[in-house]
Amino acid sequence: MKGRPCPQGAVCAAVLLYQVVGVIEGSEDPMAPPLKLLAVNVSVGAAGVLAILLLMWIAKVPWRSLISSPRAFDARRLARYLVGAAVLVSAGIGVVALVAPDAPGWTSFGATGMTIAMLVIVMLSTPVQAAGEELMFRSAVLPAAASWVRQVRPALVVGLVISSLGFAVVHGSTDPWLFGYYAVFGISTGLMAIISRGGEAPVAFHVANNVLFTTVNTVMAGGEGFAIDRSTDTGDASLLILAVVNICMVVLVWLRERRGRARS
C-alpha cells in the first residue's frame, strides 16, 4: 500500500455524519423511532462509502482491493456466510431470552403502526448501516492502520486493535460491559476479514446480527419505538453470550476457509 493513509479521517467522517443526523432529527437518542433510525442507518452507510473513497484517494489503491484481496468479491460466499450468521445470532438471541430475558430491555410483544414502520425501516436500511460500518472499520481503517507497520503479523495486530477500538469508541457507550462487547465484536469481524481475505464474512455477520436484534427489539417493545441505552450500568454479563456467538462465527469462517483452500 502506497503512502501512509490516515484512519482517523474515516472515523471522523462517521462521527461528523452522526452529529449531522442528531441535529436534523433533534433527538439525543440515536435510535429514536422511526426517522432517526433511518437517518442514522443511511448516514453510517454513506460514511462507509466515504471512508473507502478517501482511502482510495490517499493511498492510491483500487477499491476492489479494499473489499477483498487477492481474490475477487464473491456474492455466493456472502450468501453462505449470511445463512450461517443468521443461525448463530438466532441461537444467541434464544439463549439470552432463556437465561437473561430482562437484560435486553424487552417489555412485551406488540404490533402497531409504529411496529410496522420500524420493521420496514429495519429491513431496508439496517443492512446498509451494517455494511457501512464494515466498509469503514474493516475495509478502510484496518488496512490503513496496518500500513503503518512493515512486518505482516505486527501490522495485522495493529490494524485489528485500532479498528476494533475505533469501532467501540464510535458506538459511544460508557458502560464497561457494552464497550468491551463492541471491542470483541470489532476484533471478531476483523479476524473474519483477515481469515477470509475479504469483507463477505464480516458484512454477513454484522447484517445478520443487527437485523435480527433490531427486529426482536422492535416486536418486543410493546408496540412502541425502542431505544438503545448505552449509558453506564446498562450492560451486564449476558453480553458474554453474544461474545460467544462472535467467537463461534470466527471459528465457522476459519473452518470454511480452510476447507475451501484445501480443495483448491
Q: Tell me what the mean pLDDT of segment 54-67 comes to.
A: 86
Give the position of cell 448501516: 129
Q: How far apart are the C-alpha atoms of 85 and 223, rounded to whole Å?
A: 27
The cell for 199 is: 469483507
Q: How do residues 40-51 score in pLDDT, each as one tens digit?
A: 899 889 888 988
At 1 the pLDDT is: 41
Closest CA to 36 of 45, 46, 25, 23: 25
Predicted TM-score (pTM) above 0.85: yes
Q: How do residues 145-171 score in pLDDT, each as one tens digit?
A: 998 998 999 999 999 999 999 999 988
Alpha helices for the chain (secondary structure H): 7-25, 35-59, 63-67, 75-99, 113-134, 142-146, 152-170, 176-196, 200-219, 239-263
